[in-house]
Amino acid sequence: MKGFLRMNTGFQVRIAILVTLLIGLSSSIPGFLSLANASSVIENVGLIGLVGTGIMLTMIVGQLDLAVASVAAVAAIMALSLAGDSLPLGIVVALVMAGLYGAVIGYVIDRTGVNSLVLTVCMLIALRGLALVMTPDRPAILPFEMFWVSDGLVAQWGPLTLMGIICLVAIGCVGLALRHTKLGLSMYAVGGNPERARGSGVSTARVYMAAFAGSAMLGAAAGILAALRSGSASGLGFESFLLAGITVAVVGGIPLEGGRGTVVNVLLGALIIRLISSAVALGGIPGSFESIAVGGILLAMLLLDYGLGRRRQSGAARSRAAALQNPSTHTNGG
């Protein structure tokens, strides 16, 4: 209980929403707590959490990657197209190409100062076109003799699947890197105040390159996993990734202004969204109500974070005013 009270207000509200959803849905929808549903929820939390974690990296540094869905499509098509020769080679090539692409985008943003939203929208359109060119007549298909990969990814181990485990482990590794590496800490510094970070010797080019490379690689990984699960990949098959990734990041509490956020926020947002989706599916509720519910929660979280941000600013302003009115407390210890 003490740990909960020490959390910031925004996080407390999100935990309360999650607990309310769990209690309300499990008591009102038959089968909500079944192993099959738990497995589905965890698997999809991991998948969309992977996309959201990549987007979070760019949000932490004060930017935003809007091309992640197109990157996922190109990477998935590339991996499946090469699967006939070697699936591991196809996966590695797709991930490396995604990382190189993201690094170039980060470098361009740092050197030119171009708005990341504008640049990544351009790349979203261009890469979508590339994905459609790569699959002109039919989707890329996983070779029949490799369908055991699809079966293995979704095989249940209690409430978990291999796909869910892969996603959650990858997200955990990103979380550790953010908190325990110099590059991860530099991302928070650049997102909080780029000029001050530069003055402290932080390379903003390196930070932006890492953030966008990470976003691209995580989006590509999510696309590849989704394609392996379904056995196919098309140019327009991953359009939902972008909106879902941004939604789970914002619902989880990643601020748009940068400098803050963890993978815990992303997983919390993904879990809230997936619980709603699961309730809609199991309860036979029209899909339009899911969109309304998710949109309502997203708006509520944005307003909550805006209000809390204004309160923090007001508190900081009052503290500075008090310090100016009582300078003796800073000069002679009172």
Predicted local confidence at residue 2, as pLDDT: 52
Residue with the two structure tokens 């993201």: 102
Top-confidence residue, 334 or 194: 194
**Segment 156-189, tens digit of pLDDT:** 888 899 999 999 999 999 999 999 999 999 999 9
- Model confidence at 82: pLDDT above 50: yes
Please state the rounded mean pLDDT for residues 53-68.
95
From the CB of residue 161, how many other CB atoms can be counted at a distance below 10 Å?
A: 21
Please say whether the beta carbons of 82 and 89 come within 8 A. Answer: yes
> Taking the model in full, what pTM does it have?
0.89
Please state the rounded mean pLDDT for residues 234-259.
90
| φ, ψ at 87 (rounded to 5°) | -65, -45
Short-list 291, 242, 297, 303, CA closest to 269: 297
Residue with the two structure tokens 């999100």: 14
- Model confidence at 334: pLDDT above 60: no
CATH code of domain 45-307: 1.10.3470
- Model confidence at 333: pLDDT above 50: no
